[in-house]
């Protein structure tokens, strides 16, 4: 079975690309390929014009927030953050905006195994943005977050968007992405069905929101 079939897309700084598609469409596989967690059978992935196969240094340019963060159960939150800092070895000024906004200091001494799903998501978000990477890949970033935390994270994403960073984001809650998305990449059965600016998509579908525009497109797909 082919997970991704002749996927060809070019993204650049300043874009916030919403990656959408039905469950099992290949979204997660595409993200894993970009991260080097899955090696494609053919083709190549370029970051800043350079092929990344067998050259994993490019990962330092990416901040990744998984849908479900998995961390050592017995480590405290502060220990996990310190460990990631040590592993990255980055001399850059750290971006601790989310750590302060989420008040990480209040649960920094708690073991990871004791955290709720939403609090674990906060830790993942903090780590994704911590090193101020030029590329952000956010997989269902607001899943499990309470309304306040979700708004804090969306504001942070908007801030990074305004800095001209490349952001690739997936979410089943498309209403969260209306003010964030610049382009939509729609994938089904491992094939790109469309990749275009959100305003063009809204114009072609006659819809005013991302959620309605995607629903319109999905209705046109053969069952």
Task: Give 42-48's long-range contacts (Cβ < 8 A, gap of 24+).
Answer: 43/7, 47/135
Per-residue pLDDT for 223 more than 80? no
Lowest mean pLDDT among 17-31, 99-113, 127-141: 17-31
Tokens read off for 222: 């053969």
> Tell me, what's the pLDDT at 93?
78
Buried b (16+ CB within 10 A) or exposed e, 117-146: eebbbbbbbbbbbbbbbbbbbbbbbbbbbe
If you average pLDDT over residues 143-169, what whole number do you get? 93
Structure confidence at residue 103 as a pLDDT band (50, 70, 90): very high
Distances from the Cα of 182 to the Cα of 1, 84, 188, 211, angstroms: 32, 31, 20, 14
Residue ranges of domains in the chain, CATH in brackets: 16-69+135-220 (3.40.50.300)
> Tell me, what's the pLDDT at 91?
59
Tokens read off for 12: 């650049």
Strands (E), the chain: 16-20, 46-47, 50-51, 62-65, 135-139, 166-170, 183-188, 191-197
> Tell me, what's the pLDDT at 90?
64
If you average pLDDT over residues 24-32, what whole number do you get? 85
Tokens read off for 29: 């596989």
> Tell me, what's the pLDDT at 166?
96
Per-residue pLDDT for 121 more than 70? yes
Structure confidence at residue 165 as a pLDDT band (50, 70, 90): very high
Between 21 and 146, the more confident residue is 146
Counting every residue, how long is the chain?
223
What is the rounded end-to-end Cα distance, in angstroms, of the chain? 20
Lowest mean pLDDT among 62-66, 144-148, 170-174: 170-174
Lowest mean pLDDT among 31-40, 124-133, 159-168: 31-40
Question: Which residues partner with 185 through β-bridges?
Answer: 19, 195
Between 54 and 85, the more confident residue is 85
Q: How far apart are CA 116 and CA 158, in angstroms?
A: 26
Question: Which residues partner with 138 through β-bridges?
Answer: 65, 169
Per-residue pLDDT for 221 more than 80? no
Mean pLDDT score of the chain, rounded to an integer?
89
Backbone φ and ψ for 130, nearest 5 degrees, come out as -55, -40
């Amino acid at each position: 079975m082919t997970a991704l079939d002749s996927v060809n897309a070019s993204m650049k700084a300043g874009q916030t690309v919403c990656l959408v598609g039905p469950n099992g469409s290949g979204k997660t596989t595409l993200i894993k390929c970009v991260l080097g967690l899955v090696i494609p059978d053919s083709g190549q992935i370029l970051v800043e014009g350079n092929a990344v196969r067998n050259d994993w240094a490019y990962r330092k340019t990416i901040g990744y927030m998984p849908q479900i963060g998995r961390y050592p159960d017995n480590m405290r939150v502060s220990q996990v953050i310190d460990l990631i800092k040590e592993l990255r070895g980055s001399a850059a000024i750290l971006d601790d905006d989310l750590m302060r906004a989420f008040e990480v200091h209040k649960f920094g001494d708690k073991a990871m195994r004791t955290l709720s799903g939403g609090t674990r998501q906060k830790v993942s978000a903090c780590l994704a943005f911590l090193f101020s990477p030029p590329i952000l890949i956010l997989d269902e970033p607001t899943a499990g977050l309470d309304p306040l935390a979700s708004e804090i994270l969306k504001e942070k994403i908007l801030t990074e968007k305004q800095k001209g960073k490349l952001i690739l984001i997936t979410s089943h809650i498309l209403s969260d992405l209306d003010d964030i998305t610049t382009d939509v990449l729609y994938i089904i059965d491992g094939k790109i069905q469309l990749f275009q600016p959100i305003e063009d998509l809204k114009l072609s579908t006659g819809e005013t929101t991302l959620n309605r525009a995607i629903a319109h497109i999905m209705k046109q797909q053969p069952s």
